[in-house]
Amino acid sequence: MIEKFRGILLCSAVGDAIGKSFEDLDVYDVEEFYKELPIDHFVEPHPNSPAFFQKPNETSDETTVARLLVESIVEHRKLDIYRYFYKLQAWAFDESIHRYPDPFIIKAIYDLSNNITEGFNYSSVEGILRVVGTSMLHFYSEELSQEAAKTVVMLTHRSKESIDGAIIFNDVLLKAIKNDESLETIESRIELLDSMKQKTVSSHTAKVLDRLIEALEEGYSKERAILSIGNGSFVLEALGLSLYYFLSYGIEYPYDTFINAINSYWEFGGDTDSIGFITGALLGAYHGYEFLPEDLVLNLEDQDRYIYLADKLYKLSKSMVKY
């Protein structure tokens, strides 16, 4: 189990670090700049990418916001939404350390700091990435983990789609951590997705789940899945496409799935770092992190920090299990 916790943090961070270098770029820009495709290692950020000023092995603020939650949980030995907010606040106000953060998160933090508590009807995928922390904390309880996931997401993102995304991401993460039997076959994975429609509050979410089910049933290619589900920063696009990768062949072929997910640019660009983060977290939850080449883990920025946090969070989570 501890390898799974390490896998969630390490694989999500690696996926973010690679994917951030060509986020928002279309396939033509990628093919022109990077001569060896698909991209399967840390690369220099494209000059037109949001990460143009970063080093190849550095993560973006997609990972920062999730890591701050894990740090808060580990430091205080529980989920304390106020203490997490204080961490977010300190980070948001120090613009010198920003790595192209989600503007909706920044705005929500500034508004809350000024006692503005209404609104936040945001649907960017960055709002749900922090769910990895609460899913690990309460991996033993679907009910507790769902409520915790919704709580941390609604701090900054309160749209129906973001809430749905939090629940879906959490539930699949839990099943991956437990190697649940619902992930064993394509048929059982389709049944899982179909059952999730009963938990959604947005009709849009149900439609995306239907598209995802169709993609699994018909064995869509990556390009067809991108066209059907989307690969943008809207939560249901990036999450839906990541679920397509994980559920189509991520159980059987984790490394190939990981590389395909990161390379999710197409004719209209793509949120490649978020897709890399989510797919990496799901694959890490199921397989651990050893499916990744060793050099990716060793050369990841602050890789020792992720291992430390994963180990601490595992011990804390284990102590909370009621036998």
Q: What is the mean pLDDT of the chain?
A: 97
Distance CA 235, CA 159 (A): 10
What's the rounded mean pLDDT across residues 163-171? Answer: 98
| Mean pLDDT lowest among 73-77, 178-182, 276-280, 318-322 | 318-322
Q: Mind listing the pLDDT tens digit for each residue in 168-201?
A: 999 999 999 999 999 999 999 999 999 999 999 9
Q: Is the pTM of this model over 0.95?
A: yes
pLDDT of 321: 80
What's the rounded mean pLDDT across residues 26-37? Answer: 95
Task: List Cβ neighbours of 253 (8 Å cut-off, separation of 6 or more).
Answer: none
Which residue from 278, 281, 256, 276 is spatially nearest to 264, judged by alpha carbons?
276
Q: Mind listing the pLDDT tens digit for each residue in 104-140?
A: 999 999 999 999 999 999 999 999 999 999 999 999 9
Tokens 């399967």 locate to 40
> Per-residue pLDDT for 323 more than 60?
no
> Per-residue pLDDT for 74 more than 60?
yes
> Per-residue pLDDT for 203 more than 80?
yes
Q: Please give the share of the chain, as a percent, with pLDDT higher than 70.
A: 99
Domain ranges of the chain: 2-320
Q: What is the homologous superfamily of the domain 2-320 according to CATH?
A: ADP-ribosylation/Crystallin J1 (1.10.4080.10)
pLDDT of 207: 97
Residue type (1 letter), 187: E
> Per-residue pLDDT for 230 more than 70?
yes
pLDDT of 322: 63
pLDDT of 276: 98
Q: How confident is the model at residue 244 (pLDDT cuts 50, 70, 90)?
A: very high
Distance CA 72, CA 81 (A): 9
